[in-house]
Amino acid sequence: MKKNIFFIANWKMNLSAQQTRALTNGIMPTVKKYGNLMTLAIAPSFPMLQDVLNISRRSVRMQVCAQDCFWEQSGAYTGEVSPDMLAEMGCTHVLIGHSERRIYLHETDAMIQKKLACIFAMKKNIIPVLCVGETTRQKKAGRSEEIIHAQLTAALAGITLKSSQKLVIAYEPVWAIGSGIPMTPDEFGACAVRIRGYVSRAFGGQGRADSVVLYGGSVTPETARAYVSAGGDGVLVGGASQRIDSCTALIRTLCMK
């Protein structure tokens, strides 16, 4: 059976409420048309989640992803949002450890591990999308593999998954994000194989060699399909997902034979 391609549109801290609704409504017909081939999870900013959730009810192939969550389900943590709250709203996914949070909010591997542990301890299901990737300096020092391995190992330390629980890995090299210089699909294909191996090993080699691995970093409608052809399960896209024309073009090209 052909796999269903997974596309996450990360709208980051962009778009007003009106723009968010217009974009979500605007891409809905394309999502419906290609829904047998792909699933789109939209990641708007927190205040826009409910608007996107309301529109997403029109297709099971449009899902909603939060951009972050905290590592406790409730308590005196001003400004934070718990995984339980997101799941209750209807979010299906949540990004964990995006490089912009690692850089600007100083999120550490230990914090990221606590977020994953909190998510996997809950009864309701929300799927974490664990983001990993090396910086320019780490790449130049030839440390890309070591960094990805270390990030995955630290994030998954002590985590066990029940059979109903899922994990998505998004490999986003920091140097490729918003730079217009993506990793080549071939390079990504080799990385995806290694990442599946690391994840499988982190879970004691038990049945997780099939984890969903996405590529992110300067993906465009012209390049998106090549990451799937190279062995990825889909893409995590920032800039090119934030306009109707390029977002619908991404969906169409991802679904090309």
Contact residues: ligand 13P, CB under 6 A: 10, 98, 172, 177-178, 216-219, 236-240
Nearest to ligand 13P of 119, 247 (CB atom): 247
Nearest to ligand 13P of 11, 71 (CB atom): 11
3-class SS of residue 136: helix
Q: Which two structure tokens, joined as six digits, stand for 6? A: 């997974």
Rounded-to-integer distance, Cα 227 and Cα 70, Å: 31
Q: Of these residues, 93, 98, 100, 149, which one is catalytic?
A: 98
Does the active-site annotation cover 98?
yes
Beta partners for residue 213, in sequence order: 169
Q: Cα-atom radius of gyration of the chain, to the nearest Å?
A: 17
Nearest to ligand 13P of 84, 216 (CB atom): 216
Q: How far is the CB of 224 from ligand 13P (least distance, A)?
A: 10
Question: Residue 2 CA to chain centroid, in angstroms?
Answer: 21
List CB contacts of 137: < 8 A, sequence separation 6 or more: none
Does the active-site annotation cover 172?
yes
Q: How far is the CB of 9 from ligand 13P (least distance, A)?
A: 9
CB 12 within 8 Å of CB 238: yes
Q: Of these residues, 107, 146, 172, 222, which one is catalytic?
A: 172
Q: How far is the CB of 42 from ligand 13P (least distance, A)?
A: 12
Query: Nearest residue by C-beta to ligand 13P?
Result: 238
Residues with catalytic function:
98, 172
